[in-house]
Amino acid sequence: MQNRLRTTDLPQVKELQSLDEQLTAFSESVDLLVGDPGLAPAAKTTQDRRSFLTSLGIAGAAVALTFAPIPGTQRTLVIVSGTELQEPLQALKIQFEKIHPELRLDLQFQGSQDIVNKFIDDKNDFNPAVIIPANGQILKELEARWRAQNSSDPFYNAPKPITKTLLVAIAWPERGKVLFPDGRFRWDRLEAALKAKNWANFSGNASWGSFDFVITDPTRSNSGQLTLGLFAQSKSGSLSIATLNDQSASDLIALVKRSVYQPPRSTDVLLQEFIARGPNEADIAIVYESIALHRWSQSTTTQGKPYQIYYLDPTVETVSTAAIVRRSIDERTAQSARTFLDFLTQSEQQATFVRYGFRPVNGDVPNVSDSPWQKNIPGAESKLSVHTLPIFEPEILTEIKRLWERSN
């Protein structure tokens, strides 16, 4: 609750013109009360006591007003984050503003690649103080593009890890059993299904129709880029500019592009559409584990049965990383932004991220009440049994985007 009094709440406050007058009245009332009772007429005792109490209240209120935030001085911090953090940040915003009433958070959400593109091209109608894309490599790309056009540093401090997640696949149970008979995700099985185009050509039920694979737009979202990188790596055994320029990688990315209809701009939008469409229009998707866990119960409500989670092996671990930008942001605002980032990394807020399906930056998933790992979600693993890879280098992601744009 804000520590702020309104002047309309103060008795007789309009009769006093300054804090000095208030304190003088307070002092005189004290003299009357504590002086020799024999020196003061008895008739005045009640009146003097009432005057003292009134002055005491006014003086106390004046002190409160002196130290309360001045109206109009509340500072607004614009935070631009990847959509994967939308729900936990909205929950944490309320808590942060209670602790820091002098600060107001304006949360904006974009696909991670859009965060970079719109910042570099100055296409936002706001000035972000903090940007939090899905991983630190996205910030490296932003820094490289910024330095190509400017001589200054784009950030105030080194970027700060906030929370992490990884890529997983989700599929409707009956589709998943046909696609992955042994219960383990396999890229070669996915590729065969894409080439088959229809379930009838892939030992599935003919009534299921076409095989529908869903990823995000790699030109706008990081999860789409990472999906293509892992898919290409499964073919060659490694991932580099050279292997991406091999014809097999180009053919694979072209196959995916032909198979994916209107890829969504972000992972959160993708999963909402996946749940709403159901198995008739979306069979399998690659998303972040965090959002797959958090929205799992919605699939039961909407479709009558939940989707199954499959862990990619290897998968990519992606760490949501925050940076305080310099453009149009003064030092005082930057300090407020540091306060916000420190708040996010405290244990209480890290527990909130866990409740939304994210993993701590350091250590295993803690035992947090109401976390999705306590809900017996099919396929979910609190302790991973698969290998995790670091995020791909910016030049790899850039080449993946280029191949996607060139594919027909």
DSSP string, 324-391: EB-TT--HHHHHHHHHHHHHHTSHHHHHHHHHTT-B-SSSSPP--TT-GGGTT-TT--SS--S-EEPP
Nearest alpha carbon to residue 311 among 386, 390, 236, 216:
386
CATH classification number, 75-162+320-355, choose in 3.40.1550.20, 3.40.50.300, 3.30.565.10, 3.40.190.10: 3.40.190.10
pTM of the complete model: 0.79
| pLDDT tens, N- to C-terminus, the chain (408 residues) | 344 333 334 333 333 344 445 444 444 544 443 444 444 444 445 555 555 545 555 555 444 444 444 555 789 999 999 989 999 999 999 999 999 999 999 999 998 999 999 999 999 999 999 999 999 999 999 999 999 999 999 999 999 999 999 999 999 999 999 999 999 999 999 999 999 999 999 999 999 999 999 999 999 999 999 999 999 999 999 999 999 999 999 999 999 999 998 999 988 899 999 999 999 889 999 999 999 999 999 988 888 889 999 999 999 999 999 999 999 999 999 999 999 999 999 999 999 999 999 999 887 787 888 899 999 999 999 999 999 999 999 899 999 999 999 997
Show the DSSP H helices in 36-135 as ranges.
Answer: 42-67, 86-99, 112-120
Tokens standing for residue 43: 């008739």
Q: Which CATH superfamily is domain 165-319+374-406 in?
A: Periplasmic binding protein-like II (3.40.190.10)
17: exposed, middle or buried (C-beta count within 10 Å: 0-12, 13-18, 19+)?
exposed
- 310 CA to centre of own chain: 23
CA-only gyration radius of the chain, Å: 29
Q: Is there a common fold for 75-162+320-355 and 165-319+374-406?
A: yes
Beta partners for residue 310, in sequence order: 169
Helix H or strand E encompassing 29 = helix 19-34
Give the Cα separation of 76 and 106 in Å (integer): 7
User: CA dihedral in degrees (366, 368, 370, 376; nearest 10)?
Assistant: 30
Locate tokens 């065969």: which residue? 192
State the pairing for strand pair 315-324/160-171.
Answer: antiparallel
- Per DSSP, the three-state class of 323 is strand
Locate tokens 């990383």: which residue? 321
**Domain locations along the chain:** 7-67, 75-162+320-355, 165-319+374-406
Show the DSSP H helices in 197-295 as ranges.
Answer: 222-236, 241-244, 247-259, 267-277, 289-294
- Per DSSP, the three-state class of 117 is helix
| Phi and psi torsions of 177, nearest 5° | -65, -35
Nearest alpha carbon to residue 227 among 243, 214, 238, 242:
214
Tokens standing for residue 172: 């409707």
Q: How many Cβ atoms sit within 10 Å of the Cβ of residue 210?
A: 15
Classify residue 198 by its DSSP letter. Answer: B
